[in-house]
Amino acid sequence: MAEPAVKRVPGRGRFITFEGGEGSGKSTQIRALAQRLDAAGLRTLVTREPGGSPGAEIIRHLVLSGMGKLLGPDAETLLFAAARDDHVRTVIEPALARGTWVLCDRFSDSTRAYQGRLGQVTPAFLDAMQRVTIGDLKPDLTFILDVPVEVGMKRAAIRRGAGAPDRFESENLKFHQDLREAYRQIAAEDPQRCVLVDADADTATVAASVWTAVRDRFFKADVGSMASLA
Ligand code: TYD
């Protein structure tokens, strides 16, 4: 079902989310984009889910420990929803209202992909959760970083080092293949909002694609900004 568009209040910040499977490079790309926006004189806030607020970080610890899995898919989804509710209310909305650009590492598409497609939580349940937690809030732009599963898993293993894989990293190969497919489907279903990025390229190439999309989306009509943001 198409979600209603957010009413844009003058001076409100933009909300950009990054999505993708394990090891897709989201955090590196968020940092790169934040630096470019900062350099362009915009106020930015980098945040993440699950987490991003003190209350939500406690829930993050719970779900990544595997505790949520023991409760079953619906209850685990409720934990993500509770975390998101706190994060949106106490961090994201106030920042957007102040005119800050919010860059978020994962948001509601993660719930659609991980719990919806893979945990088989029903769309009706997810829609209800979404209404309660985020209402009309919809990202202005979502990057879906697409990388072959083997590449992503290898990157995630290197990042982890000797540490144990978390709740989702320890799922099997089929899970991660389905996850990639779920994200590609989300991108295809909402092409206005989502940009599917080939994240198998080197960091600078991916960052350039991200920046081009941001510039085209937000600064294209503004010739002055284009010059300063080139
Ligand atoms: P994290 O260590 O942040 O993973 P990554 O670096 O891949 O983003 O762990 C977050 C995990 O939680 C990740 O495996 C995806 C999962 N997740 C969900 O299952 N549902 C959600 O709604 C969110 C936000 C994350």
Which token pair is 99?
Answer: 């005119």
What's the Cα-to-Cα distance from 158 to each of 18, 21, 96, 204, rounded to whole Å? Answer: 21, 15, 35, 20
Domain residue extents for the chain: 15-229
Q: Flag whether pLDDT at 224 surpasses 60.
A: no
Burial of 92 (C-beta count, 10 Å sphere; 0-12/13-18/19+): buried
Q: Flag whether pLDDT at 48 surpasses 60.
A: yes
As a whole-number percent, the residues of the chain with pLDDT over 90 amount to 80
Q: Flag whether pLDDT at 225 surpasses 90.
A: no
Which token pair is 65?
Answer: 């420990």
Q: Flag whether pLDDT at 1 surpasses 50.
A: no
For the stretch 117-176, pLDDT in tens is 877 899 999 999 999 999 999 999 999 999 999 999 999 889 889 888 888 888 888 999
Q: How far is the CA of 109 from the centre of ligand 1 (A)?
A: 11
Contact 206, 199 (CB under 8 A): yes
H or E stretch covering 187: helix 173-189
Task: Kindly give the number of the ligand 1 atom that is closest to the alpha carbon of 80.
Answer: 22
* Band of residue 227 on the pLDDT scale cut at 50, 70, 90: very low
Q: How far is the CA of 218 from the centre of ligand 1 (A)?
A: 27
Closest protein CA for atom 9 of ligand 1? 64
Residue 109 CA to residue 3 CA, distance in Å, equals 13
* Model pTM score: 0.91
For the stretch 49-108, pLDDT in tens is 999 999 999 999 999 999 988 999 999 999 999 999 999 999 999 999 999 999 999 999
* Residue whose CB lies within 8 A of the most ligand 1 atoms, among 31, 107, 110, for a mutation test: 110
So what's the pLDDT on residue 117? 83
Task: Domain 15-229: give its CATH code.
Answer: 3.40.50.300
Strands (E), 43-132: 44-48, 101-105
Task: Kindly give the number of the ligand 1 atom that is closest to the alpha carbon of 106.
Answer: 24
What's the Cα-to-Cα distance from 1 to each of 39, 189, 195, rounded to whole Å? Answer: 38, 10, 19
Q: How far is the CA of 219 from the centre of ligand 1 (A)?
A: 30
Which token pair is 191?
Answer: 């092409």
Ligand 1 neighbours, Cβ below 6 Å, are 22, 26, 49-50, 64, 80, 105-106, 110-111, 114-115, 166, 168
Residue 154 CA to residue 125 CA, distance in Å, equals 34
Q: What residues contact residue 191 under an 8 Å CB cut-off, 6+ apart? A: none
* Residue whose CB lies within 8 A of the most ligand 1 atoms, among 114, 121, 153, for a mutation test: 114
Q: Flag whether pLDDT at 208 surpasses 50.
A: yes
Q: How far is the CA of 163 from the centre of ligand 1 (A)?
A: 17
Closest protein CA for atom 6 of ligand 1? 22
Q: Bin 27: left if φ > 0, else alpha if -120 < ψ < 50, else beta.
A: alpha
Q: How far is the CA of 110 from the centre of ligand 1 (A)?
A: 7
List the beta bridge partners of residue 105.
Answer: 18, 48
